Amino acid sequence: MDIEDLPGVGPAIAEKLREAGLNSLETIAVSSPAELVATAEIGEATAAKIINSAREAADIGGFETGDKILERRLGVGKLTTGSKSFDDLFGGGLETQAMTEFYGEFGSGKTQIAHQLAVNVQLPSEKGGLNGSAVMVDTENTFRPERIKDMAEGAELDYEDVLKNIHVARAYNSNHQILLVEKAKEMAEDLKGTEKPVRLMIIDSATAHFRSEYVGRGTLSDRQQKINRHLHDALRFSDLNNAVVMITNQVMVRPDAFFGDPTRPIGGHIVGHTATFRIYLRKSKGEKRIARLVDSPNLPEAEAVFSVSKIGIRD
Ligand code: GTP
Ligand code: MG
């Protein structure tokens, strides 16, 4: 069922809803009548009717018993970064069924890590991989097949095979980015049961388009709402596919900070609360980088040093 199939939603209203990120039955089901009134320019009664029908049709999920959750948790996989000390921060690698955010200034290594994970996910589990393929939403046009080649060779893999299992889409704006996550879900569905199911989704950068499109304070809460919805979509992807979701986020300098680190991640709390793990990256001497685990449900705050070398991420 599509959102057009909801009573009261014609093509024009559907387009307005999609533009505002209300692109599925689930997102409409959990929206408020006031939100719908404002985005689709409809009356409150119609809005209420649309939301009620969406609630009936949507897959809202439900309660699960603890033993079922434990069973699912036992299926959690770990994906290596290529560096032992970096992996140790996560207790052995990035977890599936979770979203990990990497934030840091330019050149801190976010995109290099994304490339490395897209290679490593293809490794067998004995080597720290998930024996799967990767989808990458590239919002800054920084995907470089040449870097994949370097890293594949570093991992003793055939680079041509490796490139075939990395599905890259360039996102031109935030709405496009949101739709590409939907597309990624379809692709993952198609690749389920094949030799290389999708076990990694990368959004690099998750926040850049939102940041440049929503300028000025008036639109800030709009922006946060949209990012929030987008990230929950991404998080859902990790559950549906037992996949690692890796997102990147730039930091911006806070001019009003007199003490401590004057940077803070864009998207602020919304991103922070949705990501399961948060890693703050800083540059150090030469190829060295410092990663700090900032937020995790079950691991202590800690730091690790790794390096970005020609053949990829290493100790
Ligand atoms: P922004 O997207 O601009 O916010 O930065 P980022 O955090 O994504 O940085 P990125 O991962 O692109 O890091 C770029 C850095 O990686 C460069 O400054 C180099 O230090 C390093 N790097 C990139 N390519 C190579 C390479 O081929 N060899 C080596 N040794 N280092 C590389
Ligand atoms: Mg980058």
pLDDT tens figures, 92-111:
999 999 999 999 999 999 99
> How far away, in angstroms, is 182 Cα from ligand 1 center?
29
| pLDDT for res 253 | 63
> Mean pLDDT score of the chain, rounded to an integer?
90
pLDDT surpassing 80 at residue 219: no
Cis peptide before 307 (omega within 30 of 0): no
Which numeric CATH code is attached to 3-58?
Answer: 1.10.150.20
Res 262 pLDDT > 80: no
> Domain 72-314's class?
alpha beta
Residue 32 has pLDDT above 60, yes or no: yes
- CATH 3.40.50.300, the chain: domain bounds: 72-314
Q: Which two tokens stand for residue 283?
A: 């540059």
Task: Render pLDDT for 55-92 as a digit per residue (tens, 0 to 9).
Answer: 998 877 778 899 998 998 899 999 999 999 999 999 99
Split at pLDDT 50, 70, 90, the class of 266 is low
The candidate with the shortest Cα–Cα distance to 40, out of 24, 18, 58, 59, is 18
- Strand-pair partners of 99: 245
pLDDT at 250 over 90: no
CA 113 to ligand 1 center in whole angstroms: 9
- CATH 1.10.150.20 positions along the chain are 3-58
260 has pLDDT over 70:
no
Please say whether the beta carbons of 83 and 131 come within 8 A. no
Give 18's pLDDT tier (boundaries 50, 70, 90): confident
Tell me the ligand closest to 291's alpha carbon: 1
What is the pTM (predicted TM-score) of this model?
0.85
Tell me how far the alpha carbon of residue 112 lies from the centroid of ligand 1, in angstroms: 6
With beta carbons less than 8 A apart as the criterion, state whether 110 and 251 touch: no
**For the chain, how big is the Rg over CA atoms in Å?**
20
301 vs 292: CA distance, rounded Å = 7
pLDDT at 215 over 80: no
Residue nearest to atom 15 of ligand 1 (CA): 107
What local confidence, expressed as pLDDT, does residue 1 receive? Answer: 81
Give the span between the Cα atoms of 95 and 299, in whole angstroms: 12
Ligand 1 pocket (Cβ < 6 Å) reads 104, 106-112, 250, 287, 308-310
Alpha-carbon distance 78 to 95, whole Å?
Answer: 5
- pLDDT over threshold 70, residue 264: no
Q: Does the structure show a pLDDT above 60 at 171?
A: yes
Distance 219 CA to ligand 2 centre (A): 25
Contacts with 73 (C-beta within 8 Å, 6 or more apart), sequence order: 97
Q: Which of these, 226, 264, 233, lies nearest to 247 by C-alpha position?
A: 233
For residue 35, what pLDDT is reported? 87
Give nearest CA residue, ligand 1 atom 5. 106
Q: Whose CA is nearest to atom 21 of ligand 1?
A: 308
